Amino acid sequence: MKKTYISICLMLITASCFAQWMTLTSGTTNHLRSVYFANANIGYAVGEYGTILKTINGGTNWITQTSGTTNHLNSVYFINANTGYTVGDGETILKTSNGGANWTAQTSGMFSNLTSVFFTNSYTGYAVGSNGSILITTDGIWLSHLLNGYYPVSVFFTEEITGYAVGWNGIIIKTSDASNTWTVQTSGTTNNLLSVYFSDANIGYAVGYSGTILKTNNGGINWTLQTSGTINSLQSVYFTGVDTGYAVGHNGTILKTINGGTIISELYNIKNNITVFPNPSNGNYTLQYTGNGNGIAEFSVFNILSEEVYSAKLKTTAGINYKNIDLSGFSDGIYMLQARIEEEFYVAKIIKQ
C-alpha cells in the first residue's frame, strides 16, 4: 500500500463508521521506533542508526539531531521540556539536559539491547531489555531484575506503582506493585506489540506489527483493534492529549490522530467544491472539483480492508475540473474516496453495486 497523507478506513459496515490516522512527513526513511512529546508542540522520534528527530510545531516539520551513536535507538522519554532519555541496542542509554541539543552516554551494565524507557518522576525510571530484565533507577544508577520470564519491548506507568508492558505474540502484562509482580491481560491479537501508552489511568493504546493499533478504555480489561491505514509496523505511540496522538514506525512512517483513533458515527463532509456522481454506481464515477487556480489534486480509493485500490493525480485549473474513476473491475461494496488538494483533505463513502 502506498503511503497516504490521511488514512480513513471503513470499520463497521452496518454503522458506516470510520477511524482517522493521517500520515506526516518525517524527512527520513530510517525505521522510527519511538515517539514522545514534551508538550503539544515539542516532540521527539528516535530510530535506526542513532536517528533522533525533533519537532517544535506538532509534527508539521521534523529536524535531525546529533545523537553521537550509530546504534539503533528504541525508546525516548522526556521528564520535562529539557531533560530526556533515549535507550537502544548495545545497552545504549543517552541523556540530554538541553532539549536534545547534546546527548551524553550513561552506563547500564546490562549487556543487552534496551527496548523501552519510562520515568514515573524526576528520579525514578524504568527500562526493559531484550533478555527479559527490567532496569530501575532512582539516582542515576541503573539496577536490573527479571520480569518472570516475560520478554517485553515497551513499558509505561500510569502512576508510580501501576504500569503496563507489551511484547511478542500480543502479550500485555500489568503491574500494580511497582514491578514486583505482573499479570497477563488479553490483547486479542497475536501480532507482536512494540509500544504502549496511556493518556490516563483507563485509556491506553498499544501498537505493533503490520500497522496494529489497540485501544482500551478500562485500564486494559478489554482491548479493541483500530484501523491504522498502514501495513508498516508501528514501533511507538504517544498522545499529547485525550484525542491527539502519534504513532511512528517502519520506512519513516508517522501517523497522527485528532480524535483518539476512535470510531466516529458520521463521515467527514465533502466541501461544496467537490462532488462525486453517480453514487451509488456500477463502478464508474465522475469526480467534479471547482478550483480556484492551478494546482495538483491527489485521489485515492480504499476498500474495507484499508487497501488502496485506486490512485490518481489531477492538474487543476480555475473553474470546474473533472476526473473519471473506474472501479468496475472490483467487487461490489463500500469504498472510501480520499482527496488531498493543497493542504486540505476530503473524504467520502462511495458505493459500488
208 with 325, same domain: the answer is no
Q: Which residues contact 45 (CB under 8 A, 6 or more apart)?
A: 26, 32, 34, 35, 36, 51, 52, 53, 62, 76, 236, 248, 254
Q: Residue 330: inside a domain, yes or no?
A: yes
pLDDT digits 0-9 by tens, 151-182: 788 889 999 899 999 998 999 999 999 888 88
Domain boundary among the residues 226, 257, 288 is at 257
94 with 179, same domain: the answer is yes
Backbone angles phi, psi at 159, to 5 degrees: -155, -175
Domain boundary among the residues 257, 291, 309 is at 257
Q: How many CB atoms lie within 10 A of CB 45?
A: 29
CATH number for 111: 2.130.10.10
Q: Which of 90-94, 253-257, 337-341 has the weakest average pLDDT? A: 337-341
What is the span of the domain harbouring residue 310?
274-352
CATH number for 290: 2.60.40.2550
Domain boundary among the residues 257, 288, 308 is at 257
Q: Residue 20: inside a domain, yes or no?
A: yes
146 with 287, same domain: the answer is no
281 with 216, same domain: the answer is no
Q: Residue 262: inside a domain, yes or no?
A: no
pLDDT digits 0-9 by tens, 238-286: 888 888 888 888 888 888 887 787 533 233 334 457 778 888 889 898 8
Task: Work out how many domains the chain is built from and give that number.
Answer: 2
User: CA-CA distance, 353 to 344, in Å (whole number)?
Assistant: 29
Q: Residue 265: inside a domain, yes or no?
A: no
The pTM for the full model equals 0.57
339 with 297, same domain: the answer is yes
